[in-house]
Amino acid sequence: MRARARVIESMFADIPDAEPAVISPNLGIPAFLDQEARVADSKDVYRFTVNIIGPRQLGAAQVHERLAGSIVAVPLFEVVPGTRRLRRGTPLPLRLAPVQETPCLLLGTSPLASLYQNRQDRPSYLLRHDFFGKNRALFHTTASLDFAGAPAECRDWLRGHPFLMFDLVQSYGAGTTAKERTCYHAIVLRNKDYTSFHVAQITDIHLARRYDEVLDCLSGFLGPFGDILDMKRVVDFFKGRFRRASREKRVQDEIFRETEYRRFNPLNRRFQNPNNKLRQFIIWANQAAAREHLDLVLITGDILDYCQKEDVQKTDYSLGDTNWDLFLRIMLNLPVEYRAGCEPTKIVRHEELAVPVFTLPGNHDLRVHGYPLPAMNYYKYFGLTRFEAMLYKDPVKLSVEKSLAIDKYCLKPYYQHINPFDDYYVKLGDRLFIMLNSGADSFLNIKSLLMANPGCVGFKDTQLTFCRRVLEACAPACGDGSTSLFVSHSPILNPALRGAIWKSIQSALRGKKYAPPESYKEANLRAHGRADTNVVYDLDFGIGTISRNRDQVLKFLFKHRMTALCGHTHLQREFRFRFTGKPEEMEPMGMDDILKKKLLEIRWDDYTDNESPAFVQENRPFVLQTPSLGIRRQEEKRDFGAFREVTFLGDRLEGIQVRYLSRLGNEF
């Protein structure tokens, strides 16, 4: 008899209605306390900006009164073997400067409106759309952490580790109504410089609670020995289980069409659970950090496969109704509440992440519902067969049309509990990361939709202004851009054969075969005697990419010689490009005019696999697509669990290769 679902108390307090609440720093945008954050003439006092949301009727003085003395920083130490969570130490008090009301978030000491060059009095996007509730206002203050009074274990920890993380815990209410709200992993006190700095980029995780439940749900159909049954026994099983003739015939037809059983391993071996890939990555990340081989993780979109949990009929996008709850619980190694009757199996036993992260949303993070597993061969990403995918039933009926529905409020839990910023930058020493949200699915590029490779909306003019203003402010410290990265979810370049739709029709009707786009890589072209490896006129680079301001982003990257890190396609694709015209002539040109005048060159190869990091650094700009951490098609001849490691040493790029969890071997 199946156990009933456990009711698990939420660890994530909602934004209180009548109280102010800290919204950043937070899990996805921590504050780094380093030499630049240290107060002048002080050895142990650090300052950082705190963004606050509160009721509109409260003035800044009232907000300060309610927050003063109620916020502490809780240090995080080693993983406790029993709970496999980080040990929390003695809280350190924070001192707050006078609170001020502001129409927008503050990024460091700069209002976002000034970086976007918007009107200074224009209310934030978060306020205009009530992401934190109605009648809210934004406030900010400067918090000071005096490390002089820290417990001895904090100082002992920093003698053997490059950083110490803290939770930011806020208390409010009194007596029986007293509550706490925690911004997890919100502060990083770093006692080491950034000369040697290690970054891991993960993208396209595609988390959803249903992927923990699939094996258990299918075991009810396939029987206790379903994984080892051969074809004949599966047929016999279903003949006895379904009596109605129409149902029996349909099932038998699907079984006999199912040739994949003959070449695949048993289901419990080949099923690819994207939730487990994140759990496995956390194990690797903690081990790498313990060896001082990892300092930071960038999560670049498609964190979720879709937002709303499967058994939720209607929602106001509270955290518990969405898969953002699953993401937080995996990151913090907290118990997950599953549907009644589900007993998940093959769940990786992992730990709470012990490395700071910066996050960006992707297009899937704004999708309300998921794909039905049989639709569009989606089941292949998880190692399932069509037959198995048809057996799995979601509690709420899904369709391809529903799965393409997007809603900006899918990001409501993300803004409240993870990161309230769409766009921001991270400056650590002379390392600069410009983080931009590339938006939801774009329905403007019809070719991309017809090829089942939808792109993203892209970047607004204000986002490009943001990039320019950030570089103006940071350029003196960040040099020539050799250690700077432009980070987004959607790629700026992504190739397909020219006339790909017509060629696919010809392939289907006439059996005519065409060389895949990968045949245009530099190494392949040279092997066939082609000296000119520029492929901008051989391929269409606008499929499955951004719809807005693609030409402007390419010009920005070329001008500042920046490398772009992205995801979205689930593939490792790497391009270098350059403009051959004069900058002042090209600036007003659109992409069509640039191509007509042959002023753009694009080359494609596996540069980070085949060339040295010095080659990548010297031949910037590059657009580097990182494969998916969470999912891949079963027939793809590559390993699973991809991520990209980027290593800086001084002003040099020491490494920027793609790695796979399945290849790590003894590193786990």
pLDDT of residue 511: 63
Task: Give the residue, 509 or 472, on which the prediction is more confident.
Answer: 472
Where residue 587 falls among pLDDT bands split at 50, 70, 90? confident
Question: How far is residue 174's CA from residue 57's CA, in Å, rounded to a whole number?
Answer: 21
Q: Which two tokens stand for residue 641?
A: 């669990």
pLDDT of residue 246: 54
Q: Which long-range contacts (CB under 8 A, 24 or more apart) does 388-392 make?
A: 388/218, 388/222, 388/267, 390/254, 391/218, 391/221, 391/222, 392/214, 392/217, 392/218
Where residue 7 falls among pLDDT bands split at 50, 70, 90? very low
Cβ contacts of 81 within 8 Å, gap of 6 or more: none
Cα end-to-end span (Å), the chain: 36
Task: Give the residue, 494 or 5, on which the prediction is more confident.
Answer: 494
Task: Give the residue, 415 or 667, on which the prediction is more confident.
Answer: 415
CB 604, CB 535: distance < 8 Å: yes
pLDDT of residue 243: 46
- What DSSP designation does 469 have? H
Beta bridge partners of 432: 427, 484
Q: Find how far residue 72's CA is from the centre of its chain.
A: 28
Residue 428 has pLDDT above 50, yes or no: yes
Task: Name the residue type at position 631.
Answer: I
Angle formed by the axes of helices 324-332 and 274-290, nearest 10°: 30
Task: Name the residue type at position 112.
Answer: L
> 146-178, pLDDT tens digit by residue?
999 899 999 999 999 999 999 999 998 777 678
Mean pLDDT on 178-196: 93
pLDDT of residue 255: 41
Question: How far is residue 371's CA from residue 380's CA, in Å, rounded to a whole number?
Answer: 12
Where residue 233 falls among pLDDT bands split at 50, 70, 90? very low
Average of per-residue pLDDT values in the chain: 86
- What DSSP designation does 321 have? G
Judge if pTM exceeds 0.85: yes
Bridge-based pairing of strands 357-360 and 296-300 is parallel
The closest alpha carbon to 464, from 489, 437, 491, 440, belongs to: 437
pLDDT of residue 315: 81
Mean pLDDT on 565-570: 94
Tell me what percent of the residues of the chain surpass a pLDDT of 90: 62
> 23-54, pLDDT tens digit by residue?
999 999 999 999 999 998 888 999 999 999 99
- What DSSP designation does 587 have? T
